[in-house]
Structure 1
Amino acid sequence: MATNRASGPLARVLGYLESRKNLAGSACGLAGLALTLAGVAGTYWPVVIAGLYGAGALVASPERASVPVFPGTAEQLGVVREDLARLREYAAEVELPPAAEGRLGGLLDLYGALLEPGWGTEALATEPDAVHALSRAIRLDVPECVDTYNRTRWWNRLTPGGESPERHLERQLSVLSEEAERLTAGLQDREARRQQTHTAYLEERGRS
């Protein structure tokens, strides 16, 4: 912990030594030193050097903070693709009812098709909201569905009764499947509109 505290001030000092303000102030200070050696500054040479250093540091342009670099959409989709692979491994290890297992398999296959490098990812790359929805489903929604099902099923065995955990799981997966289908349909519709727009452009150009 002490090392971490010491590194902060040291880093700031080193940063200032490399800053534009220090370089400009040092250049002006050297000019003051030259005046001193030439006998111009007289007995006030320390004040002259310090004053010139301060003036140089004041007029120097401020340091420009580096613009943060964020991962591009292609990199984000690559990470989501890796998350989907881990989700598949997790789903393969858990025991689910046949109906829910089939629905989950179809859902994951649809996610995989959307994330497959090619036209799907090209369309997704222009739709940040779609990327967010897909990422949220893979990282949060589906794992939560499976985990809560397994937990509830365990408690249900101790105290039978109430609504079936299987039924809840199937409803949840149905909602996620409908969401994924709407997302896919939206991307398809956008591509269809793009084709229609190009057709209209070519027809208009042909008439002119």
Structure 2
Amino acid sequence: MATNRGRGSGLLRFAESRKNLAGCAGGLAGLALTFTGAAGAYWPLVVAGLYGAGALIAPPERIAAPHFPDAAEQLDVLREDFTRLREYVASLQLPPAAAGRLTELDALLSALVEHGQWSSDPDSFHALTRAVREDVPEAVDTFVRARWWTRFTPGTEPPERHLERQLTLVHEELATVASSLRKAEEQRQESLTYYLEKRPSRSGD
């Protein structure tokens, strides 16, 4: 059944192709010559020849370029991932210090995820994506698994210390991203002010 469907779709694509349509146009021209008597007894060859000629001169099928998600589409998906990350973290019992650091990080992530101007700064967007999809969930998951083993190995370094440090490092990286965005907005604002100050006045028109 799958083979038959594949053949059917292939025939349909050929029937709708430019070469077949151009060939059919040539074949119709051959039939017109046949009806007028110009093709004579060799009309089948004339029709077939004009069909073949039309198919040969038809432009090749244009293959559509692959679609890659733009910044807006990627941001929509990232927002969904961030929502799932929040739900995952909310389901866990974390130490107070780590929970406080995670709350600060969540506020910063939320502000960055809501920021919509990422097309001109792919490196910062990559850092944000990595934090949401890799850094934070991996840090939390590693802590949860390491904490389970501490009951069997007392006296070892508390795993929450690593978690706090990891979250701090992620927060510092994203704070740098936020600072760059703030500076870019300030420069844009200053440029607009300069433009408005230098723009010729039309009050006397």
Q: Which residue matches 2:55? A: 57
Q: Do 2:131 and 2:170's aligned partners in 1 also have CA atoms closer than 8 Å?
A: yes
Alignment of 1:83-94 (within 5 A): 83-94=81-92
Number of equivalenced pairs: 200
For residues 148-167 of structure 1, the aligned pairs below 5 Å read: 148-160=142-154, 162-167=156-161
Instruction: Output one character per residue of 1:142-177: Cα deviation in whole Å (capped at 9) or x when no partner.
Output: 111111111122223223454432121111111100
> CA separation in 1, counterparts of 2:49 and 2:15?
18
Which one has a larger percent helix, Structure 1 or Structure 2?
1
Structure 2: distance between partners of 1:31 and 1:204: 68
Instruction: Determine whether 1:178 maps to 2:172.
Output: yes
Listed one character per residue, the Cα deviations across residues 32-81 of structure 1 (whole Å, up to 9, x for unaligned) are 12223333333332222111111101111222233444444333222222
The two structures, once aligned, show a CA RMSD in angstroms of: 2.2
Alignment of 1:19-98 (within 5 A): 19-98=17-96
| Range with bigger deviation, 71-80 or 52-61 | 71-80
Percent identical: 56
Mapped partners of 1:203, 1:37: distance in 2:
78
TM-score, normalised relative to structure 2: 0.85
SS of structure 1 residue aligned to 2:80? helix
Residue in structure 2 matching 1:141, options 132, 135, 140: 135
Gaps of 5+ in 2: 201-205
CA distance, structure 1, for counterparts of residue 8 and residue 158 of structure 2: 62
